[in-house]
Amino acid sequence: MEESISIKDIFKILINRWKLLVTIPIFAALICSAVTYYYLTPVYQASTQILVNQKNSENMIDIGQQQSNISLINTYSVIIKSPAILEKVIENLNLSTSVEQLNKGISVGSQSNSQVFSLMFQHSDPEMAVKIVNSITDTFQKEVKNIMNVDNVSVLAKAEQKEKRVPVKPKPLLIIAAGVSVSLALGIGWALLSEYLDNTVKNSQEVDIFLALPVLGSIEEISKQKVKKATKLHEVGVETFGT
């Protein structure tokens, strides 16, 4: 006989295992919260804006020069992360870090057909993040003149210290939501798998289906409350007739 399970049966299984499906996500949320707030180091980000625009004494807009400036942004992104820039930053700020480690915190973002790009740096110390990204920006602006033999870099906005510092990662709500979702999926999978592997006969209908035998009688399961209630009634009756 082939066994089949319907959506209704799945809902019954999940309802019968509701305690498991509630407990596991709550436990996962508590663990994710503890890990996020007590074990993961918050990371802060500071950013500057840089304009790539060749100075023109005639105050005329040169479309060809503008496209050239846009194409240079990719080159400048590489130069910013190069030892020629980062070694000077480390020296200026007296940092106890290597060029490779400093490079990991740098990211460059730009929009298509825009001469403005953003330089971002991430660090566990928000004040240090601001100092480093500003130093990288200033050093790049000075050194690019010698490296590229051009003077087309201007700083539009520098990073500033903020009173309210919000870390960019980790994101507690996202981590907790992911943990709850994964744990709930595992709980549902475990509930369905354990029900599928359970070969015990639970009611008279299953006896008729799997064993093809008639049911002559059944014993009702008595709850503890009913037992206590019956015991109390019996004691009251004994006391009444005893008197």
pTM listed for this prediction: 0.67
Distances in Å between the Cα of 80 and the Cα atoms of 10, 77, 111, 132 are 58, 5, 18, 12
Q: Are residues 108 and 178 in the same domain?
A: no
In a domain, 162, yes or no: no
Q: Which has more confidence, 227 or 24?
A: 24
Q: Would you call 25 helix, strand, or coil by DSSP?
A: helix
Highest-confidence range of 5-14, 15-24, 193-202, 219-228, by mean pLDDT? 15-24
Q: Are residues 76 and 141 in the same domain?
A: yes
Count of structural domains within the chain: 3
Q: Give CA–CA dist 120/106, Å, rounded.
A: 6
Q: Are residues 98 and 49 in the same domain?
A: yes
Q: Are residues 25 and 111 in the same domain?
A: no
Q: Are residues 219 and 119 in the same domain?
A: no
Distances in Å between the Cα of 73 and the Cα atoms of 108, 112, 144 are 9, 10, 12
Q: Are residues 81 and 144 in the same domain?
A: yes
Give pLDDT tens digits for 31-44. 999 998 888 899 99
At 179, is the pLDDT very low, low, confident or very high (cuts 50, 70, 90)?
very high
Q: Give CA–CA dist 107/127, Å, rounded.
A: 18
Give pLDDT tens digits for 83-139. 999 999 999 999 999 999 999 999 998 877 788 899 999 999 999 999 999 999 999
Q: Are residues 150 and 176 in the same domain?
A: no
Domain that includes residue 214, residue range? 207-239
Q: Which has more confidence, 74 or 220?
A: 74
At 162, is the pLDDT very low, low, confident or very high (cuts 50, 70, 90)?
confident
Distances in Å between the Cα of 43 and the Cα atoms of 98, 154, 159, 175, 218 are 19, 28, 16, 15, 65
In a domain, 109, yes or no: yes
In a domain, 1, yes or no: no
In a domain, 31, yes or no: yes
Q: Are the beta carbons of 124 and 140 closer than 8 angstroms?
A: no
Q: Closest Cα to residue 69, out of 132, 134, 152?
A: 152
Least confident of 5-9, 66-70, 81-85: 66-70
Supply the CATH number for residue 85's domain: 3.30.1890.10
Query: What is the side-by-side strand order in the sheet with 44-52?
Result: 106-110, 116-123, 44-52, 153-157
In a domain, 30, yes or no: yes
Point out the domain boundary residue: 98, 126, 157.
157
**Distance, first Cα to last Cα, the chain:** 63
Q: Are residues 48 and 126 in the same domain?
A: yes
Question: Is pLDDT at 62 greater than 70 in this prediction?
Answer: no
